Amino acid sequence: MFTGIIEAIGTISALKNHGDDLRLTVNVGKLDMSDVHLGDSISTNGVCLTVVDFGSDYYSVDVSKETIKYSGFANYQVGSKVNLEKAMRADTRFGGHIVSGHVDGVGEVLAVNDHTRYVEVWVKAPDELAKYIAHKGSITVDGVSLTVNEVKGASFMLWLIPHTLQETIIGMYKPGTKINLEVDVIARYLERLMLGDKAATTEKQDISMAFLAEHGYLK
């Protein structure tokens, strides 16, 4: 479990293919590794990964075929910058929102517009994620907990303050940049809950106006 409050910017120092999987090593920058142990989870650009080797200034993780499929790891290379956050402690402040580290898909930056005190970033999400993205709702972008400020179809807009731009890789975004997206976990569970008994069937179930009316959600 994570909060989406980034602790450091890391740099990918090694990538090794192991069949369909990937061994990734990250130089951690200013991330404090003094309390990290084998088997701990570290969010790497929003993806929850398990530490299989580490030192004072690095850690290594194995990235599965499934994770590569739903995230931007297929596009990363040695030297790529990544946002880092260690797993949330029970005795710390919950500063962002509930972030599982289970990326839902890869979005694309459409535009980056500079303003006096903030930067406006427009992102195109995969169409299948659009229903989970709401105005003033939460979304995780490369591991960063952010607020959606405007929505147009599957595209949404973010306002970034100088601190966020300085402390995360979002300050490096430009049109065409691919980014990891995780939608609000509450929205995912709510959709599943609304299926009721039909959630147990193997057939694909979609929430439609007809479905809502049939099950008493609409009058």
The distance in angstroms from the start CA to the end CA of the chain is 38
Q: At 69, which helix (H) or strand (E)?
A: helix 65-70
State residue 192's pLDDT score: 78
In tens, the pLDDT along 159-218 reads 999 999 999 999 999 999 999 999 988 888 788 787 777 777 766 666 665 655 665 655
Determine the pLDDT at residue 202.
66
Over residues 151-159, mean pLDDT = 97
The values of phi and psi at residue 29, to 5°, are: 60, -125
Residues pairing with 99 in the sheet: 2
Helix (H, G, I), strand (E, B) or coil at 31: coil
Read off the pLDDT of residues 13-24 as tens digits, 9 standing for 90 and up: 999 988 888 999
Give the mean pLDDT of 130-147: 95
The answer, yes or no, to whether residue 144 has pLDDT greater than 90, is yes
Average pLDDT, the chain: 90
What mean pLDDT do residues 83-109 have?
A: 89
pLDDT of residue 120: 97
Going from the C-alpha of 94 to that of each of 4, 77, 98, 167, the distances in angstroms are 9, 32, 8, 18
Cα 63 from Cα 65, distance rounded (Å)? 7
Domains annotated on the chain, with CATH: 8-86 (2.40.30.20), 105-187 (2.40.30.20), 190-219 (no CATH)
Would you state the pLDDT for residue 204? 65
